[in-house]
Amino acid sequence: MNLYHLRYFVTLAKLEHYTKAAEELCITQPSLSHAISLLEKELGVTLFQKEGRNIVLTKCGKIFLEKVQESLKILDDSILELKSISNGEGYIDLGFLRTLGTNFVPKLTKNYIESNKDKKINFNFYTEATTTDLINSLKEQKYDMIFCSKREKEKNIEFIPVSTQKLVLIVPSDHPLSEYDSITLEQTIEYPQIVFSEKSGLRSIIDHLFDTIGQKPIIAYEIEEDQVIAGLVSNNFGIAIVPYMPILKFMNVKTIEITSPTWERNFYLALLKDKTLTPIAENFKSFVIENYTL
């Protein structure tokens, strides 16, 4: 049994005539008869029976036809999908930190889609709270690629720098520090702070900044997500050091520049080095490198 024999069978079942079916298939009638005989021999049943000058399906033939048509449709649909994928179309499973979901990722992906208007392109977007979670999911191949912070000692992951983000201080709008537009880290020490949890890659960075001034913050709460931290600050649960996010403009907080010590956070496009990307994912990677790398 082979694919051609199955297609011959479907055509013959449709036309119910050997000569007409052979003409449509562009083969000889003996070749068609031989193929159907081989198929019946392998299956151990009769698929067609004569009815006047024509032939019709037997009961077994009708059962077989239904299943063969379903199988060929699945096969043909898969072939069309792969041809579409080979042409740089399809979808990309993209993971990213939530902080990048308000501006950076939406703009980047929109620009990519607009630069490929002749192709059908879709993204499956997935957000996670921490770089650790994203990298673990990337290793499990849940995503084609991710946007995250860089993790050292990840030998099997390629990190491509694409964006920077400064750390800022946010305080409630009526807080004593809200009168300042810029501030040093020492000026924050006397106020309770909402800090990132140990799971966050930012925690060790911010801890190091306090170490450089020889001080420790008063920790009121430990939270994973920067947007949740901003929400708590806006409701007077404390002050916080967070990456700058456009969403801060619309919250009841004052954003204050930290002049000393200063620090910028880099974001990266991260991919598994040993994973073969689909053409669309490879094209997207090239687009990011050409237009967004630092």
pLDDT per position as a tens digit, 215-247? 999 999 999 888 899 999 999 999 999 988 888
pLDDT, residue 11, reads 95
CA distances (Å), origin 109, targets 142, 232, 238: 19, 30, 35
Helix (H) or strand (E) holding 100: none
* Residue of 124, 67, 130 lying closest to 90 (CA atoms): 124
pLDDT, residue 81, reads 84
The pLDDT-based confidence of 199 (bands split at 50, 70, 90) is confident
The pLDDT-based confidence of 65 (bands split at 50, 70, 90) is very high
Dihedral sign, Cα of residue 74, residue 77, residue 83, residue 87: negative
pLDDT, residue 164, reads 87
Q: Go through the chain and tell me how many residues it has.
A: 294
pLDDT of 1 > 80? The answer is: no
d(CA 206, CA 38) in angstroms, rounded, equals 74
Tokens found for residue 251: 């919250």
Asked if 24 and 15 touch (Cβ cutoff 8 Å), the reply is yes
Rg (CA), the chain: 31
The pLDDT-based confidence of 200 (bands split at 50, 70, 90) is confident
pLDDT, residue 13, reads 95
pLDDT of 49 > 80? The answer is: yes
d(CA 227, CA 232) in angstroms, rounded, equals 9
Enter the pTM of the model: 0.64
Helix, coil or strand: residue 223:
strand
The pLDDT-based confidence of 86 (bands split at 50, 70, 90) is confident
pLDDT, residue 165, reads 83
Mean of pLDDT values over 176-195: 97
* Residue of 156, 147, 72 lying closest to 109 (CA atoms): 147
